[in-house]
Amino acid sequence: MRHQLDILGNALDSLDEGLRQYEQAYSGGRHAYKFAVLLFAHFAELLLKHAVAQQHRLLIYKNPSARKLEQEPTVGMWECLNILRNAGFKLEDKLIADLEWLKRLRNQIEHYSFDMDVREVRAALGRALRATVTFASLVGVDPLDRYLSEAGKRTFQRLLDEYQESIANAEADAKEEAGENLVFDCGICGLDYKTAVEKYDGVYCHLCRRTDEMQICHICDEWNRESYMYETEDEWDLTVYECLECSENPFVKS
C-alpha cells in the first residue's frame, strides 16, 4: 500500500488538515491551535513550491544539476518568491509581508515557544488564509475551497469571514476612540487598515491589541514608531534604534 501526493496535493492536504485542527481548537481543544498554525505554514510553503515547479520542475531544487536529484534539498520560501519575481509575477508587498509574518510565527512554534491569546491565534490564521488565497489566485489555483472537504469548506469560509469582521470592528473601535484625531495603520500587523490610535506610550492597534512603542533615533534624535525603525547596537553594545532615513543614508553615519 502506498500513499502519494504531488506538491499541490500535499499542500491542499495540509490546508484541509489545518482547518480540521482549527475546528478542533475552536470547539475547546486549544492545544490544536498550534498544529493549525504549523499546517497553514506548511500549506503556504508548498503552494509557493508548486508555483515554482509550474515554471520548471527542476527549479524547486537547490542544486538542479545533481546526479541524485531526489536527495537534494528543495528551495525555501524566500527563494521561491525570488524565482517567481524573476519569472515575471507581480507580488504585492502586503502579500510578502503576510508570508514573512507567517514564517516567523511558524519558527517561533518550532524553535522557541508559543504563547498567544486565542483571539490572536484566530486572527493570525485568518490573516494567513487571506494571504494564501491571494497568492493561489495569482498562480491559478483558484478557488482554493473547491479542493477541500465539505467540513473544510465551511471552516475556510468562516475563518475568512471572521477575519474580515475583526478588521471592520477594529477600524470602528479605532475611529471611535480617536474622535477627531487621526487613525493609523499598524506597523506591527503590517497591514494598510486604519486600526491604530495614538497613546501616550506609542500607537495602539485594536486588531492585534499591541502597542507600537515610540523610540528615539540615536543619530538624528527624532522619535518614531519602533516598527518603522531598525534595531542595532552602539559602540558599547547597547541596543539603540535608527530611523529608516538615517539607516539608509551612508553620509549621515560616516
Fold (topology level) of 7-147: Four Helix Bundle (Hemerythrin (Met), subunit A) (1.20.120)
Mean confidence (pLDDT) of the chain: 86
* % residues pLDDT > 70 (the chain): 96
Helical packing angle, 118-138 and 32-55, nearest 10°:
10
* Cβ neighbours, 10 Å, residue 23: 18
- pLDDT tens digit sequence for 151-205: 999 999 998 898 888 889 999 999 999 988 889 998 887 777 899 999 888 999 9
Q: Cell numbers 490610535 label which residue?
A: 197
Q: Check residue 11 and give its pLDDT.
A: 93
Q: What is the CA radius of gyration of the chain?
A: 21
Is the predicted pLDDT of residue 254 greater than 60, yes or no? no
By percentage, how much of the chain surpasses pLDDT 90?
38
pLDDT for residue 50: 94
The total of other beta-carbon atoms located within 10 Å of residue 111's CB is: 7
CA–CA separation, 231 and 4 (whole Å): 46
The region, left, alpha or beta by phi > 0 then psi within -120 to 50, assigned to residue 239 is beta
**How do 196-199 and 202-205 pair as beta strands?**
antiparallel
Q: Where are the domains of the chain?
A: 7-147, 174-253
Indicate the pTM of the whole model: 0.74
Over 60: is that where the pLDDT of 252 sits? no
d(CA 50, CA 142): 13
